């Protein structure tokens, strides 16, 4: 009967989506239909929709439509199942009807109670905003009465291995248990919406508020402690926020964070939870609300997850299993949408890789030995044995680093790199550590919380030696950096990964001081992004990968989803919403002087080539109104391009710290009027090419100079290409080409496509795209540009023809803006 109900209650993909606030374009409606079908049929979908086509809003509306339909279905299913169970009952019909009616009412009452609570929270928010002093908070004072004596050292003793839970999980569990009988929210199917940055997630809130029911949709934004901490003393102290928070989770009143209510005073946390669920908020608003309520936003947001309809979160909280467990995220049976998924593979490889320096190893060893000397008389036998084993393992890592570094360094040579298979490093360390089981030692390090306890003890001793009289419960008494043993733990964890999925690189450079050991860094590089992603796919009801530049889709199938049957995969790609006359895309194969334009690495310093580029940009500056954005392959190339321009020149800073300031100055120059406009030089793959919008006058032309191929001499890149080549069934990619070189080219073109996607942000926007390199005219490169660009791309044999096409485009747009003449 259950199977029959499942069939009867299956949802048919709708033609209309009332959640969409406007009349959708056909491509937007098609996107929502494909999304709905994928979720309902429990499939993984790869969706490509160019930037400026309303992708995020379409994703939201399609998912919300399914979520609402699924909620109604679930309610009907429960009632129908109850009725069918009673069909064979001997009870009278009126009894059965009453039973079903009572069950229906119970479901409705729970939802009504939740909505009433949230409505009260909404009214409180309105009242808070009306008060002039609503944002003025009075900090609680820390109570420092703990005596600094030997009894405090109990805090430094390792925890029993059976506990296994972090302070975060235990603290959260206390509040959850304390409030379970008080108020149990209905747990509903939810959408986990992940994106790369908090800025992009903040934009999600704006899109949600455009929808008819957006103001009351229950959305919970998740973020790290660093983003959500409201403890001003902790933030100002320079303490590592994560470690400082964990240290203040437990203990007596003098050591606890003042914004963390005790487990027997859950009303504050529940009140904050209701405020979060009452109306959409971004991270900044959560922080402000936490300050007003004097309650921790980090833990309150997690308390709100069960009743949430949408949970927004950055990549790292979703993609790392350890982060999901620490945050209380369980995707089983829920919908996962990953926006900006064009860089998903690189993100997975990055966040599951790690580095460990020789100096960190030595710091760890120093802490372990100091800890052993102080506590060896107080430790239980099993702790003492494990501590000595751990010390031997860390000493073995130190020896391995020194020996490898000395063997690799060559006279008058710079940094050297050597690749190791994971199992070879594991074997070498096992021999050096006298056959100790590395996985067993790492399990103890993790369960005992020894990394933080040893670091805290050593920090306390240093303060004593320096005569620091800071109270032990104060923020200033916390250690200032993340414990070095955390890095050891991460490194040992990588050794437990499937050895074929990653490699370890030993990088060594000579010391600046004679007679000292070389500077050595061990780096674990994940090569296979599939295993960490597989668990998400297999647990979630449906996974949606969306982005503006997802092609070629076979790359995701081959590298990320080799385990997924093709029958479980849907793909959708659409064109742009702009009319053809709003885009002019041209390839410049030759410069004004007639020289062929090929900006490969060997020719980038060619004087004639740089003169040609200077003339091209000078000519474009004369014809392009407002903003001209030029993307170049690297920062070194950007430096060589800087010349004296007719218009204001802005360049992307290489440290990324002042990007926003440069962008504001660039925009201000354009908006101030005048005919000169401004020119912005940026780097492909840097911040300005990822996620920042150059709509309307900010970019009336985007210029791509050269092709941004990665450094093929990199040992890490070479190993990744070799891994992909060996993993491909025949070693070949699309069209029978070498799979490694296919990946190499795709990496380049995805970066190009992200850069050109910064312009043309809506239907009425317009711009020219200028590709300055003859290789863009070749079919292999041209075919990897977005379809909406490729079908309009002009390739000419002379500079004059291309320049004429651009001149006519801007003349036509100038006439359109001027309006009809009388």
In terms of domains, do 603 and 524 share one?
no
Q: How far apart are CA 676 and CA 653, in angstroms?
A: 23
User: Which one-letter DSSP state was computed for residue 738?
Assistant: B
Residue that is written with structure tokens 């096409």 in the block: 805
CA-based nearest residue to 785, from 530, 590, 576? 576
Instruction: State the pTM of this model.
Output: 0.85
CA-based nearest residue to 31, from 12, 50, 49? 49
**Which residues are CB-contacts of 646 (< 8 A; sequence separation ≥ 6)?**
618, 621, 622, 676
Q: Which segments in the chain show pLDDT lower than 50? A: 1-8, 82, 132-151, 162-164, 175, 180-182, 472-475, 477-480, 822
pLDDT at 434: 76
The three-state secondary structure class of 796 is: coil
Q: How far is CA 788 from CA 52, 573, 696, 708, 782, in A?
A: 12, 11, 19, 21, 12
pLDDT at 170: 54
- Other beta carbons within 10 angstroms of residue 47's beta carbon come to 26
The three-state secondary structure class of 703 is: strand
pLDDT at 652: 85
In terms of domains, do 612 and 645 share one?
yes
pLDDT at 136: 41
Contact call for residues 499 and 425 (beta carbons, < 8 A): no
Q: How far apart are CA 284 and CA 373, in angstroms?
A: 46
User: Which residue among 351, 368, 392 closes a domain?
Assistant: 351
State both tokens at 677. Answer: 């406009």
Domain CATH for 713: 3.40.50.300
In terms of domains, do 362 and 327 share one?
no
Supply angle C-alpha 251, 455, 249, rounded to 5. Answer: 25
Does residue 546 lie in a domain region? no
- Residue 229 exposure: Cα atoms within 13 Å on the Cβ side: 21
The three-state secondary structure class of 645 is: coil
Does residue 574 lie in a domain region? no
pLDDT at 536: 97
Does residue 150 lie in a domain region? no
Q: How far apart are CA 426 and CA 441, in angstroms?
A: 13
State both tokens at 615. Answer: 């003339």
Buried b (16+ CB within 10 A) or exposed e, 213-223: ebeebbbbbbb
Q: What are phi and psi of 339, to 5 degrees?
A: -85, 160
Residue that is written with structure tokens 């599939």 in the block: 530
* H or E element at residue 355: strand 354-357
Q: How far apart are CA 220 and CA 302, in angstroms?
A: 8
In terms of domains, do 315 and 377 share one?
no
CA-based nearest residue to 57, from 265, 331, 337? 337
Q: What is the dihedral of CA 395, 396, 402, 404, to 10 degrees?
A: -170
pLDDT at 137: 43
E-state strands within 600-657: 627-632, 648-651
CA-based nearest residue to 1, from 70, 82, 69? 82
Contact call for residues 618 and 645 (beta carbons, < 8 A): yes
pLDDT at 653: 82
Q: How far apart are CA 391 and CA 389, in angstroms?
A: 5
In terms of domains, do 345 and 374 share one?
no
In terms of domains, do 288 and 437 share one?
no
- Other beta carbons within 10 angstroms of residue 85's beta carbon come to 12
User: Which residue among 303, 325, 351 closes a domain?
Assistant: 351
Contact call for residues 577 and 25 (beta carbons, < 8 A): yes
User: Which one-letter DSSP state was computed for residue 603?
Assistant: T
State both tokens at 361. Answer: 């190893």
Does residue 95 lie in a domain region? yes
Q: What are phi and psi of 552, to 5 degrees?
A: -80, 130
CA-based nearest residue to 473, from 485, 488, 456, 487? 456
pLDDT at 636: 87
| Strand 502-509 to 519-526 pairing | antiparallel
Q: How far apart are CA 63 and CA 60, in angstroms?
A: 5
The alpha carbon of 428 is separated from its chain's Cα centroid by a whole number of angstroms, namely: 35
CA-based nearest residue to 62, from 20, 108, 105, 107? 20
Positive or negative CA dihedral for 616, 619, 623, 624? positive
State both tokens at 70. Answer: 């699924």
Please spell the DSSP secondary structure of 282-308, one letter per residue: -HHHHHHHHHHHTS-HHHHHHHTGGG-
Residues 10-54 pLDDT 10s: 899 999 999 999 999 999 999 999 999 999 999 999 999 988 889
In terms of domains, do 333 and 445 share one?
no
Angle 267-278/283-293 helices, nearest 10 degrees? 150
Average pLDDT, the chain: 83
Residue that is written with structure tokens 């003393």 in the block: 233
Supply angle C-alpha 452, 457, 463, rounded to 5. Answer: 125
In terms of domains, do 428 and 361 share one?
yes
Does residue 569 lie in a domain region? no
User: Measured in Å, how far apart are the chain's first and last C-alpha atoms?
Assistant: 75
The three-state secondary structure class of 785 is: coil
pLDDT at 795: 93
Residues 338-371 pLDDT 10s: 999 998 999 999 999 999 999 999 999 999 999 9
CA-based nearest residue to 360, from 238, 519, 496? 519
Does residue 597 lie in a domain region? yes
In terms of domains, do 184 and 215 share one?
yes
- Other beta carbons within 10 angstroms of residue 612's beta carbon come to 23
State both tokens at 433. Answer: 């550590």
Contact call for residues 592 and 616 (beta carbons, < 8 A): yes
- Other beta carbons within 10 angstroms of residue 693's beta carbon come to 15
State both tokens at 411. Answer: 């006279």
Contact call for residues 356 and 425 (beta carbons, < 8 A): no
State both tokens at 518. Answer: 């070389």
User: Which residue among 319, 336, 351 closes a domain?
Assistant: 351
Please spell the DSSP secondary structure of 460-500, one letter per residue: HHHHHHTT----TTSGGGS-SS--HHHHHHHHHHHTTS-GG
Provide the domain count of the chain.
Answer: 3
- Other beta carbons within 10 angstroms of residue 203's beta carbon come to 17
Residue that is written with structure tokens 């020789």 in the block: 358
Does residue 700 lie in a domain region? yes
Q: How far is CA 574 from CA 410, 781, 788, in A?
A: 54, 20, 9
Does residue 114 lie in a domain region? yes
Q: How far apart are CA 97 and CA 291, in angstroms?
A: 50
In terms of domains, do 594 and 461 share one?
no
- Residue 636 exposure: Cα atoms within 13 Å on the Cβ side: 4
Residue that is written with structure tokens 């003793």 in the block: 157
In terms of domains, do 121 and 200 share one?
yes
Supply angle C-alpha 41, 43, 45, rounded to 5. Answer: 125
Q: How far apart are CA 680 and CA 191, in angstroms?
A: 38
Contact call for residues 546 and 339 (beta carbons, < 8 A): yes
Buried b (16+ CB within 10 A) or exposed e, 762-794: eeebbbbbbbbbbbbbeeebbebbbebbeeebe
Q: How far is CA 348 from CA 52, 419, 440, in A?
A: 26, 20, 26
Q: How far apart are CA 126 and CA 65, in angstroms?
A: 29
In terms of domains, do 681 and 738 share one?
yes
Q: Range of 650's domain? A: 580-818
CA-based nearest residue to 219, from 203, 205, 198, 202? 205
The alpha carbon of 374 is separated from its chain's Cα centroid by a whole number of angstroms, namely: 42
| Strand 627-632 to 219-221 pairing | unpaired
Specify which residues 519 forms β-bridges with.
Answer: 509
């Amino acid at each position: 009967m259950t199977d029959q109900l499942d069939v009867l209650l299956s949802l048919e993909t709708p033609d209309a989506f009332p959640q969409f606030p406007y009349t959708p374009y056909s491509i937007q409606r098609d996107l929502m239909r494909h999304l709905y079908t994928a979720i309902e049929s429990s499939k993984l979908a790869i969706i490509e929709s160019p930037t400026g086509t309303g992708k995020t809003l379409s994703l939201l509306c399609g998912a919300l439509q399914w979520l609402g339909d699924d909620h109604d279905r679930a309610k009907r299913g429960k009632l129908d199942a109850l009725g069918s169970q009673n069909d064979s009952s001997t009870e009278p019909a009126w009894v059965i009807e009453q039973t079903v009616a009572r069950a229906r009412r119970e479901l409705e009452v729970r939802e009504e109670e939740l909505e009433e609570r949230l409505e009260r929270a909404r009214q409180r928010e309105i009242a808070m905003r009306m008060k002039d002093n609503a944002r003025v908070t009075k900090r609680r004072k820390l109570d420092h009465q703990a005596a600094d004596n030997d009894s405090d050292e109990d805090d430094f003793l390792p925890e029993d291995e059976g506990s296994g839970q972090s302070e975060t999980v235990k603290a959260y569990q206390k509040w959850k248990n304390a409030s379970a009988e008080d108020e149990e929210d209905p747990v509903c199917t939810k959408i986990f919406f992940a994106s790369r940055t908090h800025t992009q997630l903040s934009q999600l809130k704006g899109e949600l508020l455009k929808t008819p029911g957006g103001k009351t949709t229950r959305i919970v934004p998740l973020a790290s402690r660093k983003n959500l901490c409201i403890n001003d003393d902790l933030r100002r102290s320079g303490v590592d926020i994560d470690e400082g928070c964990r240290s203040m989770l437990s203990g007596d009143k003098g050591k606890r964070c003042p914004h963390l209510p005790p487990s027997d005073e859950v009303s504050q946390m529940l009140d904050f939870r209701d405020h979060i669920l009452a109306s959409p908020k971004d991270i900044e608003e959560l922080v402000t609300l936490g300050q007003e309520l004097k309650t921790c936003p980090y833990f309150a947001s997690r308390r709100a997850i069960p009743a949430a309809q949408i949970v927004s979160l950055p990549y790292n909280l979703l993609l790392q299993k350890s982060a999901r467990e620490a945050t209380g995220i369980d995707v089983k049976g829920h919908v996962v949408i990953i926006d900006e998924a064009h860089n998903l593979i690189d993100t997975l490889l990055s966040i599951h890789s790690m580095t460990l320096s020789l100096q960190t190893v030595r710091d760890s060893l120093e802490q372990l030995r100091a800890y052993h000397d102080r506590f060896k008389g107080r430790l239980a036998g099993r702790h003492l044995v494990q501590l000595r084993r751990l010390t031997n393992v860390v000493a073995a890592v130190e020896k391995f680093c020194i020996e490898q570094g000395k063997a690799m360094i060559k006279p008058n040579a710079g940094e050297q790199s050597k690749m190791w298979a994971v199992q070879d490093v594991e074997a070498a360390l096992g021999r050096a550590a006298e056959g100790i089981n590395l996985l067993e030692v790492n399990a103890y390090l993790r369960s005992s919380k020894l990394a933080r306890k040893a670091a805290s003890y050593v920090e306390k001793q240093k303060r004593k030696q320096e005569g620091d009289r800071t109270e032990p419960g104060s923020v200033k008494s916390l250690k200032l950096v993340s414990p070095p043993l955390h890095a050891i733990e991460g490194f040992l964890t990588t050794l437990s990964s499937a050895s074929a999925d990653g490699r370890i690189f030993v990088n060594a450079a000579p010391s600046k001081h004679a007679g000292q050991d070389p500077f050595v860094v061990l780096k674990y590089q994940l090569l296979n992004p599939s295993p960490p992603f597989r668990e998400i796919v297999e647990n979630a009801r449906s996974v949606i990968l969306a982005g503006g530049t997802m092609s070629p889709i076979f790359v995701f199938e081959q590298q990320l989803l080799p385990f997924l049957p093709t029958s479980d995969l849907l793909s959708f790609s659409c064109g742009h919403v702009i009319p053809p006359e709003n885009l002019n895309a041209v390839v410049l194969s030759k410069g004004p002087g007639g020289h062929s334009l090929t900006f490969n690495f060997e020719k980038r310093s060619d004087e004639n080539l740089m003169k040609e580029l200077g003339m091209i940009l000078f000519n474009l500056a004369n014809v392009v109104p407002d903003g001209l954005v030029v993307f170049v392959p690297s920062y070194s190339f950007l430096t060589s391009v800087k010349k004296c321009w007719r218009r204001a020149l802005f360049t992307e800073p290489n440290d990324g710290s002042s990007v926003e300031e440069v962008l504001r100055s660039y925009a201000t120059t354009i908006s101030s009027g005048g005919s000169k406009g401004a020119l912005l030089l940026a780097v492909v793959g840097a911040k300005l090419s990822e996620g920042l919008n150059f709509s309307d006058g900010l970019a009336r032309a985007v210029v791509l100079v050269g092709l941004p191929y990665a450094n093929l001499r990199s040992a890490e890149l070479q190993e990744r290409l070799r891994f992909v080549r060996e993993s491909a069934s025949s070693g070949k990619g699309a069209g029978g080409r070498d799979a490694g070189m296919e990946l190499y080219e795709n990496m380049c073109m995805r970066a190009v496509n992200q850069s050109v996607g910064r312009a043309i942000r809506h239907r009425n926007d317009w711009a020219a795209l200028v590709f300055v390199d003859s290789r863009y005219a070749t079919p292999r490169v041209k075919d990897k540009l977005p379809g909406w660009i490729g079908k309009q791309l002009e390739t000419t044999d002379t500079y004059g023809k291309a320049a004429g096409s651009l001149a006519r485009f801007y003349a036509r747009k100038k006439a359109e803006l001027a309006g009809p003449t009388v």
